[in-house]
Every structure is written in structure tokens, then in C-alpha cells.
Chains A and B, each alone.
Chain A
């Protein structure tokens, strides 16, 4: 049962010719790009503060891999990149009018995206267990090696509270954005199942695609500067 209403113009994926030529992209896409610019500034606020605090107090932070689980997160990073591929494949599918592969690739994206969040939650749990927490008073991380060797009580604390505070804030808000993305993807999939998207009008797929790629992009930056530097 399609809920797609007849379009005023034949192809909704091109700019509306009623008005002056503007940005030469259709309005909803423009709106999404404009919104994503604000998201850049939001993450700048958090990531910028992290960079500044790191320069101000390097002793609060640790070498890569000492506290954080780099192999697991590298895998998770790769995973998220895969979901970007499945997303763009979904978009390419509907560009060719392929309804079946639109739905399949969307489903794949949802599953991978959810796995990403799941792995992050698992990671948060493990880190918190090891004493790596956002609160300053409770911060007592000793590093993965020391923790595994059973030296949680006796080994010296690695890094300082700013490490935990910045880590959880940045990755946490990224995780929130991924979660919102997954929820939106589910809405898009439901609409796709109802036959809402056609070759001439699949704006919703392109829009959620832009958002999803952006979330991936932020993670590419985050993974590098939080886990690897």
C-alpha cells in the first residue's frame, strides 16, 4: 500500500523551478546539509574542548591502547564504515528503481548500526568496570594490562579524570547520534516496505544517507584522535 502522493513535478529529486535558481539542489537535501553544518559545530565544541584540555593537561591522558581497547574499536570503526557502504548501496539501488535491494541494504545498515552501538555499550561496561569513568571522584583507571593482571587495587592510576570526562562525552554523544540514525533508518525502512520510495522520488533515502555518512565521518575523526593519538 503506497502512501506516495503524486508529485507536482515529474522528478522531485531536482530543484523546484517555481522559484529563482537557488542552490541548485532540491530543498530537503539543502536543509539536511545546512543541519549537518550545525552538527559540525556541535562536535567542534566537544572535540575542541578535548584537544584543548589535552594540551593543557597531558598527564590526564594515556598512550594509545593503555586504557582503551584499540583492537575492538578498530573493528567497530571498520564495521561502521561497512554500514556507510550498505547505506550508499541502498541509495544506489533505489536510484535504479530496485525496490528489493533498497530494503535489503537498508536492513543491513540498521543491523550493522545497531551492532556498533551494542559493541560500544559493551566497551563502556568493560571500561567502567576497570575504573575508567567520567566522574572525577570515582576515576581509578589502572590500564587494561594492570587490570587483567588483577592489580586493580594496587597499580597506579593511569591518566586523570579529564580523560574519562572527555572520552565519555564525545563518544557518548556520537553514540546518541548513531542511535537516532538507526531509529530514523527504521522509519525509512518501514516506508520502503510500504512502497513509498520510487525512482523519481526517494528523497528520504538520500536524506538519511547524508545523516548516516556524517555520523560515520565524525567517528572517523573521533576514533583517530581519541583512540590512536
Chain B
């Protein structure tokens, strides 16, 4: 605990032209780094909420009809009388687990945190293009979160129609018993849309117009590329969802009949509108993590990322193709078969750019000088788990196979392999890697590794068996699988998954502890502990002050992946070192000429 670290952290106020009080520094800040940390704390909270809901779901599946231990008495009679989960509450937990995880945890963690933190720093800008809009972007998400939480406490309980809110279950309270909960769900997400949208406008504009001199497009680090392309997806997909949510809200409140069959509405229209957003959404949930992981793998292998240009083109290809595959979520909906076949083909094609990325990560690791720090462990886990998730995706892409797999636990397995094995491990990699930059201290290596291994092992024990469950016909979102005789033999597997899930969730407490402990007691970080090339490490102090670069806007001379470059004696070559200041290896002399022969 030194004075320099303390001084560095409180630099925010002192370095600025005028003193900013506590409120303007920590609460209503326009500094992208502080906003990123606000998103970080808020979304880690919602990650916890989502995890608790998962525990509730797993309890019912693992120990059906048994009272929730310890806290069972806390539940009301409408949710879990005597601690025994009711079907309606189970549906709400399933719905809300996904809703909180997707919209309030993963999206803000990937886009809100890393978009905000990394974009200006990695492109050499002092802040975002629109700092006040950025502040608005965070604060508008707060009422959205509160409204979503409020849904648990209204009459009828929370929305239970799944995070996909299919009509007519979501339009007609007489089918689900839920009225207010669904309305609050809709209102919350409509408000949250504004947060995402304003964020996207900021990120796109900043990357387009505020890159430091020399930071040409193909010298941008991959996290920036990924976040930039993701922001386009957010910009163009979220408004589609907003329109759909509004129509659904009108169906629920003023009795319009957009999606309800009783009024000649079209349930299939809801599905198309939702998934037209929904598929780009899942790429929003993975692309930034891919960017983060590329950075970590390259740095911790001390090697340039293999195939930088193809990595960029793959991100763009995924984003483009992602718009024309949405129907693969609807193979069993009764849609036009010709349309279905088209979607099958496009979905199979989209595996190609993702695979290119996987091969490039492997190519980066190959014969690298590998440092298995915590971020690297998470990054390698990302690659391997993403491979599994991608492979299960290939099965689902095939419409005839999907006939059997749709709405089973096979899908749940796939989702969690890409969202947890992919996105969340990517997030952990990002947090542990950039932790020193954000907080001036290293994330505890020991606690980090304990957390990693516990998470990695228990996570696979939870989700891999779900492939089996699905293949045996175990459907998803089901309260009581034992009502079907053919599923009864699967109960032990469900119980096993539940126990593993409790270990997994408990293991995250280690992360939470390590996070806060490291913030105050972690080893003080040097400016560039990972010996990285990118501007946030080389041109900005750790942590960076307001306006990021005390020496003014940096000038960029090369790409971000010059690790183990022959040009330099060091195993890294930062982007902003002028060519005449590079530590060059001694130029070997020409071999002396051979003695004259014939």
C-alpha cells in the first residue's frame, strides 16, 4: 500500500483542470473509465442474481418437490410455499435467469465495460466522442434493472414466458396467470434498449473519428475491432427488438392484437421479429469476448496473433452472416420450409468464419512462449469450450436433426457452452488481464487460478451431461420431467448436474472475494505488467488519469501484435515507439568470403 498507488487512483480529481467532487468522480462521471467500472459493478451484481436464479431452477430439477434448504421459509406462498417451488415460480426463474444473464450481465459486461474501457485507451483517444451521452447510457440502465427486479414482487409473479416471450403465452394473461410481471419485463427492456443504443452510437463514432495519428484500421487491436463491429449489431438489432416489445406491450395493455390468434394476430410474426434481433444478439454476446481473448492469447504467447487480417475479416463475416440465419431458432415453428432450408444453409456457412478464428487462436498458441497466467487460462478455456459449443451448433444447424434437438437440453448445453464457456470465460480473461490497468493492482494470481480450475471443472460437470439429457429427449423449461416415464431414469443425472451447479455457483464467491481483495490488497502493478504493445499499457499510466494520456495524443507506428519481433531485442514492440527508438538486435556481419577456389 504505497502513496503512489493511492495518488494514482485519486489522480482523477487532481489532474483535471478543476477539482471534481465525489459525486462527479464516482457517481455522475463522464469519464469512460469510471463508467466502465460502474457497468462492471452493476453487471457483476446481476451476474450474481442470475446465478441465484439458476440455483433455484436447478434445485427443482435436482431435488424435485423438496423444500429449498435454509432459506426455503423466506419464500411467499405464491412462489414457493413451505420452500417448495411452484410451477409458475419455476417458469419465472427460468425466464428471469436468462433475462438477467443476457441483458443485465453478459451484454453490459462485454459491451458496456470493455467497450467503454478499452476503446478510447486502445485507439489513443482522451475519452469517448460523447462523454455525457455515455453517462446517460449507464444511468438509464439503472431504472431498467430496478424495474426488472420489481417484477418479482407484483401480483401474478414475474414473467414466465421465457426470455423469448413467445406469443400467445406472453400476450394473454389468462394462459400464464402473469400480467404485471410481463408488462414490467417489457418496459424494463424497452428502457434498457436506450442504454445499449446510446452506447453503440458512442462507440461507433469514437472508433470512426477519434483514432490517434497512425492508428489506421489495420493497426487497431482486435478488442476494438470486435467491439466496433458488435456496436453495429447493437445499433441495428436492438431497435428491432424495441419495436417488437412495444407491440407486445400494446397487446398486453391496450388490447391490440398484433400477435394473438384470437384477433387474427400472428404469433409467428413475433418469432420472426424477435429472432431477427435475437440472432445478431447472440453474436453481440460472443464477438467482444473473442476480441478480448485474441489480445490475451497473443500477449501471453508472446507471439503475433496468427492471421490478424483474417481475424478481422472473420469478425465482419460473422456480423454480416448473422443477419440471415435467424430462422434456425424457428425450425420447428411451422414456417415456410423453403425459408427453413435457406436458413439451414446460411447457418452452416456461418460456422466457417468462426472456425477460422479458432484455427487462428490455435495457430497463435502453437510454439509460443506460453505464460499460463490466470487470463491465459481463461482464454484457452474460452477457445476449447467455444469449440464444443460450436460443434453442438453444427448439429442444431441441420434442420432434420433439429427436429429432435429443438427445445431440449441439447440446446441448453449449446447455449451455455457458448455463453458461459465462451462469453463468461472471455469476460474473466478480460477482467483478470486488465484488472491492473483499472485498479493499479494485480488480480491475485493464486485466488485467480483456484477460481479458474474450480469453475472450469464444475462448469463442465454441469453442462456437458446436458447434451446427453437432450439427446434422450429431456425438454427444456420443464418443471417436472418425472411426469414422463421415459425421463424418469434421467433423474440421477439431473441431481448430479444440480450438485455440480451448486459447486460452480459457490466457486464464484471466490472470484467475488478475489476481486475486492485484489482491489485493495493486491500487489501493486507496474505500468505494463504484461509487457503489452497496446496504447493503454504503453502510453497511459496505471491506472490512467482523466484524459488518459498525460503526454498528449500518442502517435502510432505499427500494429499491435509485434511480439517476438526480429526488429527488436525485446519480446514486445509497443505501437507508439518511434522507429528510431526501437531496441534493435545487433546487425550480424556478412560472413567473410570463402578462400578463392576454382
Contact = CB atoms under 8 A, between A and B. Distances in A.
Direct contact of A and B (CB under 8 A): yes
Interface of A: 15-16, 18-20, 22-23, 27, 30-31, 34-35, 37-39, 41-46, 48-49, 52-53, 56-57, 60, 134-138, 160-162, 164-166, 168-169, 173
Contact of B258 (A35, A38, A49, A160): A49
14 contacts: A18-B213, A20-B211, A20-B216, A27-B210, A31-B201, A38-B200, A41-B240, A45-B241, A49-B247, A56-B264, A60-B264, A136-B262, A162-B258, A165-B247
Contact of B254 (A19, A44, A52, A135): A135
B162 interface: no
Interface of B: 125, 129-130, 197, 200-202, 204-205, 208-216, 235-244, 246-247, 250, 254-258, 260, 262-266, 269, 272-273, 553
B254 A27 contact: no
A138 B197 contact: no
B239 A30 contact: no
A149 B36 CA distance: 64
A45 B129 contact: no
B265 to A, nearest CB: 7
A53 B258 contact: yes
Contacts, number: 135
Contacts of B266: 52-53, 56
Contact of B255 (A35, A137, A173): A137
B75 to A, nearest CB: 37
The 10 lowest CB-CB distance pairs between A and B, nearest first, are A45-B243, A165-B256, A22-B209, A42-B239, A135-B255, A41-B239, A136-B257, A136-B263, A20-B211, A31-B205
Given A20-B211, A31-B201, A134-B254, A169 B246 contact: yes
Given A15-B209, A35-B201, A45-B239, A161 B257 contact: yes
A188 B129 CA distance: 21
Nearest to A25: B209
Contact of B553 (A18, A41, A49, A134): A18
A52 B236 contact: no
Nearest to A20: B211
B197 to A, nearest CB: 6
A38 B208 contact: no
A159 B334 CA distance: 27
A34 B553 contact: no
Interface of chain B: mostly helix, strand, loop or mixed: helix
A19 B243 contact: no
Given A31-B130, A136-B256, A37 B235 contact: yes
A52 B276 CA distance: 14
Contacts of A43: 243
A45 B242 contact: yes
B235 A38 contact: yes
Contacts of A135: 254-256
A184 to B, nearest CB: 14
A49 B209 CA distance: 35
Given A19-B125, A49-B273, A165-B257, A30 B205 contact: yes
Contact of A38 (B197, B209, B247): B197
Of the candidates B204, B244, B256, the one having the most CB atoms from chain A within 10 angstroms of its own CB is B256
Nearest to A60: B264
A162 B259 CA distance: 10
B247 A169 contact: yes
Most buried by A among B197, B235, B257, B269: B257
Contact of A46 (B213, B247, B264): B247
Contacts of A16: 209-210
Contacts of A160: 263-264
B250 A134 contact: yes
A35 B262 CA distance: 37
Contacts of A52: 266, 269, 272
Nearest to B250: A169
Contact of A49 (B213, B239, B264, B269): B269
A162 B263 contact: yes
A45 B216 CA distance: 35
Contacts of A57: 264
A19 B209 contact: yes
Contacts of A49: 243-244, 247, 258, 269, 273
